[in-house]
Amino acid sequence: MAQHEGFRETLSSMRVAVVGHVEWIWFGAVDRIPGAGEIAHSTDDWEEPGGGGAVAAAQLARLAGSCDLFTALGEDDLGARAAQELARLAVDVHAAGRSDRTRRAFTMVDPAGERTITTLGRRLAPHGTDRLPWERLEGADAVYVTAGDADAIRAARRARVVVVSTRALEELLDADVIPDALVGSLGDPAEHVDVDLLAWRPPLLVLTEGTSGGRYRTSSGGTGRYEAVAVRGLAGDAYGAGDSFAAGLTFAMGSGWELDRSLAFAARCGAACASGRGPYAGQWDGT
């Protein structure tokens, strides 16, 4: 894909952030996902921070040069390691400490690149009452929310553009604010949303369908689809593709681009993530 017109000018001036969760992930590449009572033997394994907040913040940092991440981490070794690793990815981590352990997860990756995830422990989310520099969200160009309580989401709404994962729908409704876009996966029951049951209509609802692209609906009643971008490379996996897509959409909307261009840009971010090993190796810098 050719470099987007005006991208470098946008990059130099964008202020972006993520309000969301971080997990420590152990990855294992297996020849197949085991059935009940079976044992799978990994052919490759590695570990690194993950979770929607971490992945999206790293993708936004790739696009904008840096990204603020408002999160919560356990006061343990894995929490410290996660913050250090994300800092190496140009993510400015603002983390509230929790007495709980940092949430962990084991992810099996099959030969087709599909990931199967088992989480261990409670998801830790930031609260608006946490002593974090929430004032940095005032006037930010774009913020993506994957997790946080109602006060944290209200703080995020101080940005010019706010995109929220449908995973945080309950907290979003408690916050009584309207985001500029809701993003979710059509194939994930945890991300299902029936907008007809909401008291308000999101200006934009995007539902991803993996390699089939996805669909969108606007508050004015407009509907449509976007095409997926072909995944390149043989060593990739799907972990983080959805949140990389959402981060790309957040960046594009914060840049003021029209809808078709924004969705195409986001699809490119999702495909790039899926081309690499783990969530970060393939993430796109927009050029």
Residue-level pLDDT at 272: 95
Q: For position 7, what pLDDT does the model report?
A: 52
Q: What is the pLDDT of residue 13?
A: 76
Three-state DSSP at 135 gives: helix
- SS3 at position 117: strand
With residue 80 as reference, give the H or E element that holds it.
helix 77-87
CATH number for the domain spanning 159: value is 3.40.1190.20
Query: Which pLDDT score is estimated for 198?
Result: 83
pLDDT of residue 10: 52
Question: Which residue range forms the structural domain that includes residue 115?
Answer: 7-274
Let me know if residue 117 belongs to a domain.
yes
Q: With respect to residue 279, please indicate whether it lies within any of the assigned structural domains.
A: no
- Chain-centroid distance of CA 61 in Å reads 12
Q: Specify the pLDDT at position 48.
A: 97
Residues 188, 138: Cα–Cα separation, whole Å: 32
132 is written with which tokens? 């974090």
- According to DSSP, residue 27 is labeled E
Residue 1 lies in a domain: no
Does some domain include residue 283? no
240 closest CA partner among 39, 79, 27, 68? 27
The number of angstroms, rounded, from the C-alpha of 74 to the middle of its chain's C-alpha atoms is 20
Q: Is residue 225 part of a domain?
A: yes
pLDDT per residue of the chain (287 residues) written in tens, 0 to 9: 344 555 545 555 799 999 999 999 999 989 888 888 888 889 899 999 999 999 999 999 999 999 999 999 999 999 999 999 999 999 999 999 999 999 999 988 888 788 888 999 999 999 999 999 999 999 999 999 999 999 999 999 999 999 999 999 999 999 999 999 999 998 777 777 777 778 889 999 999 998 899 999 999 999 999 999 988 765 578 899 999 999 999 999 999 999 999 999 999 999 999 999 999 999 999 98
Instruction: Please state whether beta strands 16-19 and 142-145 pair in parallel, antiparallel, or not at all (unpaired).
Output: parallel
Contacts of 80 (CB under 8 A, 6+ apart): 73
Q: Does residue 154 lie in a domain region?
A: yes
Quote the pLDDT of residue 3.
45
Q: Which helix (H) or strand (E) holds 206?
A: strand 204-208
In a domain, 287, yes or no: no
The pLDDT of residue 253 is 98
Q: The tokens of 266 are what?
A: 């986001």
User: What's the pLDDT at 232?
Assistant: 75
Residue 192 lies in a domain: yes
Count of structural domains, the chain: 1
Q: What is the pLDDT of residue 236?
A: 74
Which two structure tokens, joined as six digits, stand for 143? 């913020």
Residue 110 is which amino acid? D
